[in-house]
Chain A
């Protein structure tokens, strides 16, 4: 799916056929290829497939404090599908996705275009500055923002009070999701910007020359050449963001300490799975929730990809 833009589709296609012919010629080293893959496969099986299989196995059982463990088939899944805490968490993350991801990626795209335009003075330091929050561990970032949001002594509150305004309750029930979006945006704008910026640098400069000869403005170039050319990169950031959003855990887990009542056990699906496993001591149900969450993420990612492919087909026609 990644290699579908007009500019880059042709060269790999032409390169591919001689490559295949060459491979057919050297039939003597099947072992070498296998050996190259072994380290990856070992880790993949041990760290991904086995735990995944174990979780799937666990999710089919029910263990009670009184009465022990018994096989229940898909009962845990059926329960999760009607569990308001789980569905509420998924719904909350869908809302998060719809609002936060466009804002974050919009800002990231704007920054990437601005730095790439060459007009920004000190583009290097601007790039570094925008990327820096990503280098701050998520845990530290949340603790830091938690302090900034503090309802009585946080700097934001104090600034409002200094000018005689009613300070906003940034950790209240109605605002905490927005406060969380702000933390995530702050943290990942730079990361997404770098992906887009790297893609922008790969656009052949002849296209710009041609556009300049045709008298296209900078904005026109950005809209008609740059953005279409980096669409695969943008789609990549969208999919990363979809996955990242549904897996939010650090933010609710840490804000739970400063806004304990507002952050409910099921605030995000991942946080819910954690609480079900470690507070309710129901590892089996937690495994089912984690599996369903994985399914939601897979479906969402697929929908996003499918949507982008359709859009592209339309453009080509």
Chain B
């Protein structure tokens, strides 16, 4: 905690200097293209905002915001996480009342809510100017030519967290660098220790999608209007899935359903020797597998081409302003302030352990070079900062993401569960999505 405190103080100064006359100052109005008197009026008129989010202890960042703008009163409501949150959000939007001003939205759901016109275009309020401050691929997730739809909060660049002790027992020195080596290592780990090198959860579409993302594939495309492209069964996708299927069928990678008691136990007791997981994985593990502290290490994902290391993203989310808000300026300022100002963003990174989307924070040595005992003193944040720089910036999502994920579980997920033909199941997944898109009136490219 003391360490976190100094980190916060330091980066406050660091960013304060580098941003010069930017919006780091007190009134925060100078960078806004909206008339500054309109901004001042909005931020000094007593206003009530509602903010739906599942981020724990976000009240702390909100308190900082309310200190900055005493006239604004923010109510934080947690209506559930993931699907539950989106269902309630959609119900509120459809019924026309009860929707919040600002909402937590994962990157993969931005096109889904954009399609229904539910997100306010923040470029009118100056959000375009923020683009350069965030990691490029993250900014591409929230902004397109038509507008800026949310302010990034945290990210999930994919890496490989592994049990160093188990890999050493199997005679391996460090994490495999390429997928060929990974397959070899999987064999060795299974033979010598009985553990699986990792688990590809049958019910976790986003993990597999992140691996496709890493491979530079574009399974989904959306032009922002009525045209989508769907390529989840392209030869390239099949190649990646075939690789995993071979490992699964050789019983070298397990496919246990994730987030179940069983799976938590398996992580804690070394049944899985590793986990291909994003930057939010390290802190998650520290809570789940306390007994194995010091034995874990972080590495980049195995690579298809070792000369050009790349990664994908799994998770992370943003704060979007809903188009139904009656206080767009104040709502935008809330989303911007907590995710752009040094003090709250440092707090998110060091107290809630959200993996930052801001370049300044990722480059901040106080944050990045902090050794983590759970990972044997490794500077895990720096490792993931390097990985984040390699995430392919062009990945897109379909504007009906719930269906895409659910259809995966019904097709490819079933194949993983049965250790069957997941490659063939990709065709079914493709068909389901194409049928749905056609039925919903989209044009398929």
A280, closest chain B residue (CB)? B403
**Among the listed B90, B203, B440, which residue makes an inter-chain contact with A66, where contact means beta carbons less than 8 Å apart?**
B440
Q: Is A281 an interface residue (CB 8 A)?
A: yes
Pair A258/B87 contact, Cβ less than 8 Å: no
Instruction: State whether B417 touches A153 (Cβ < 8 A).
Output: no
Instruction: Verify B417–A65 contact, CB threshold 8 A.
Output: no
From DSSP, what is the main secondary structure of chain A's interface residues?
loop
**Is A262 part of the binding interface, using a Cβ–Cβ cutoff of 8 Å?**
yes
Residue of B nearest to A66 (CB): B441
A140 interface hit (Cβ, 8 Å):
no
Q: Are B406 and A261 in contact (CB under 8 A)?
A: no
Residue of B nearest to A266 (CB): B410
User: Of B83, B203, B261, B413, which is within 8 A of A150 by CB?
Assistant: B261
CA–CA, A213 and B247, complex, Å: 77
Q: How far is the CB of A288 from chain B (nearest CB, A)?
A: 14
Any chain B CB within 8 A of the CB of A151?
A: yes
* Residue contact B400 to A281, C-beta cutoff 8 Å: yes
- A151 to chain B: closest residue by CB: B262
Chain B CB count within 10 A is highest, among A147, A150, A261, A278, for A261
A64, CB-defined interface residue at 8 Å: yes
Distance, CA A142 to CA B291, complexed state (A): 30
Interface residues of A in 238-266 (CB under 8 A from B): 257-262, 264-265
Interface residues of B in 385-426 (CB under 8 A from A): 399-400, 402-403, 406, 409-410, 413-414, 416-418
**Which partner residue on chain B sits nearest A277 by CB separation?**
B87
Complex alpha-carbon distance, A285 and B442, angstroms? 18
CB pair A261–B441 under 8 Å, yes or no, is no
Give the residue of A64, A153, A275 whose beta carbon is less than 8 angstroms from that of B262.
A153
Q: Are B203 and A260 in contact (CB under 8 A)?
A: yes
User: Is the pair B441, A67 in contact by a Cβ cutoff of 8 Å?
Assistant: yes
A209 at the interface (CB under 8 A from B): no
8 Å CB contact of B417 from A67, A258, A261: A261
A295 adjacent to chain B (CB < 8 Å): no
Q: Of A65, A258, A264, which contacts B441 at CB under 8 A?
A: A65
Is A312 interfacial (CB 8 A cutoff)?
A: no
Closest chain A residue to B271, Cβ basis: A152
Q: Is the CB of B410 within 8 A of A260?
A: no
CB atoms of B202 and A265 under 8 A apart: no
In the complex, what distance in Å separates the CA atom of A295 from the CA atom of B262? 40
Q: Using A261-B203, A262-B417 as known contacts, say yes or no to A64 and B441 having CB atoms under 8 A apart.
A: yes
Q: How distant is the Cα of A265 from the Cα of B408 in the complex, in angstroms?
A: 11
Q: Which one of A66, A147, A173, A258 has the highest number of Cβ atoms from chain B below 10 Å of its Cβ?
A: A66
Residues of A within 8 A of B83 (CB): 278-279
Residues on the B chain within 8 Å of A259, using CB? 257
For residues 17 through 71 of chain A, which have their beta carbon under 8 Å from a beta carbon of chain B? 64-67
**Are A150 and B226 neighbours in the complex by a CB distance under 8 Å?**
no
Residues of A within 8 A of B266 (CB): 152
Which one of A65, A173, A275, A279 has the highest number of Cβ atoms from chain B below 10 Å of its Cβ? Answer: A65
B115: nearest residue on chain A (CB-CB)?
Answer: A65
> Is B439 engaged at the interface, CB distance under 8 Å to the other chain?
yes
CB contact between B440 and one of A64, A258, A262, A265 (< 8 Å): that residue: A64
How far apart are the CA atoms of A257 and B259 in the complex, in Å?
8
Give B225's nearest chain A residue, CB to CB: A66
CB distance from A104 to the nearest CB of B (A): 28
A residues apposed to B, CB below 8 Å: 64-67, 147, 150-153, 173, 257-262, 264-265, 275, 278-281
List 20 interface pairs A-B (beta carbons < 8 Å), by A numbering: A64-B439, A65-B116, A65-B442, A66-B442, A150-B261, A151-B262, A153-B261, A173-B417, A257-B259, A257-B260, A258-B257, A258-B260, A261-B257, A261-B409, A261-B416, A261-B417, A278-B87, A279-B83, A279-B402, A280-B436
A sample of 6 more A-B contacts (CB under 8 A), given A265-B406, A278-B87, is: A66-B442, A258-B261, A259-B257, A260-B203, A261-B417, A280-B402
